[in-house]
Amino acid sequence: MKKILVAFILCSTLLNSTYVSAKKKGNNKITIGTIVYKWADIDQSFKELKEAQFTSCQLNYNSNMDESFAKKLMEASKKYGIRITTVVGVPSAPSLGIKSRWNFTEGPSTIGLVPTAGREEKIATYHKMIDFCKAAGVPAMHSHFGFIPEDCSSPQYKNFITVMKDLANYALSQGVEIYFETGQETPTTLIRAIKDIGTGNCFINCDTGNLLLYGKANPTDAIRQFGPLVKDLHAKDGTYPSREDPYHLGKEKKIPEGDVDFPAIIKLLKEQGYEGSITIECELNGKNMEYLANTRKYLQKLIEKK
């Protein structure tokens, strides 16, 4: 009887250990991707991603994308096993000569839906992006929606929330989520805006580099604060704006040459049960396959580290 009992205990222990181990492995569903800019021959683009061992991507939006392309995109995604996480774009208002400016001086008046000038034209583009997501089976559209005001009692903030609520409700009607890309506001301001929009389909594409470049937060602390709101992550490196020149953004760097603590960030993401993608974005040489391949290997080692 004792032998049977001991055998039962040992068997139960082994099964439990195997279950826990499998559970841990099952939770590690983080994929690594990059942004696809070459969409004209999407089969070739996805073939290159597969050969470079990427398993996900974001798709840079182009106004020529239609239902025919959506079909080709879904076929390439299935053929090469590449998960498309978002369609990304930051619309301008060309009819008014408004183009997004990535700086502190012109950015607040040109980027996203906080500025009123060109807003209708930008919203029309956002609707097309959402429609394309629905047609192509892509779960989310994401963008920089502007320098969200810190003062939540200001007319500008309240007006922005109303506009974003309308856009988010449209996305909700199409079964599409909206991701805010980080950078131009503090984490607290972004969390507050998402809460005030309140449609339940707004989340965060956390750009680790942008948080530093715009001087808004340490990305590790921001991710801890965002928690489950983070649905996708841009792996980008950089530095804070300098004390000597606070009028310009910080400097972007190649991963891991900047101040982003990727080992700490990936450890934190795993602890939080993150199952999204880490999407490499490097505006210095983001289309350089050698850089992308080397960075993928670096990030993969961090993901696999126990």
d(CA 217, CA 203): 18
Q: What is the DSSP string of 204-260?
A: EEEEHHHHHHTT---HHHHHHHHGGGEEEEEE-EE-PPPSS-TTS---EE-TTSSS-
198: left (phi over 0), alpha (psi -120 to 50) or beta: left
| Side-chain-facing half-sphere of 283: CA atoms under 13 Å | 10
Residue 306 has what pLDDT?
86
d(CA 140, CA 142): 6
Residue 17 has what pLDDT?
38
Residue 20 has what pLDDT?
36
d(CA 151, CA 165): 18
Q: Residue holding tokens 């139960």?
A: 12
d(CA 240, CA 133): 34
For 80-120, give the secondary structure using H, E and C. HCCEEEEEECCCCEHHHCECCCCCCCCHHHHCCCCCCCCHH
d(CA 140, CA 250): 29
Does 149 sit behind a cis peptide bond, omega within 30 degrees of 0 on the bond before it?
A: no
Residue 27 has what pLDDT?
47
d(CA 129, CA 167): 11
Residues 6+ away with beta carbon under 8 Å from 220: 261, 264, 265, 268
Residues 6+ away with beta carbon under 8 Å from 35: 57, 58, 59, 60, 88, 279, 280, 281, 286
d(CA 292, CA 235): 11
pLDDT in tens, the chain (306 residues): 444 333 333 333 333 333 333 334 444 689 999 999 988 899 999 999 999 999 999 999 999 999 999 999 999 999 999 999 999 999 999 999 999 999 999 999 999 999 999 999 999 999 999 999 999 999 999 999 999 999 999 999 999 999 999 999 999 999 999 999 999 999 999 999 999 999 999 999 999 999 999 999 999 999 999 999 999 999 999 999 999 999 999 999 999 999 999 999 999 999 999 999 999 998 776 568 889 999 999 999 999 998
Q: What are the tokens at 289?
A: 């396959």
Residue 40 has what pLDDT?
87
Residue 284 has what pLDDT?
78
User: Span 31-304: which CATH code?
Assistant: 3.20.20.150
Residue 288 has what pLDDT?
84
Q: What are the tokens at 155?
A: 């007319």
Residues 6+ away with beta carbon under 8 Å from 213: 183, 238, 239, 240, 241, 249, 250, 251, 252
d(CA 206, CA 278): 10
User: In the beta sheet, which residues pair with residue 232?
Assistant: 205, 277
Please tell me whether residue 200 adopts helix, strand or coil conformation: coil
d(CA 255, CA 54): 17
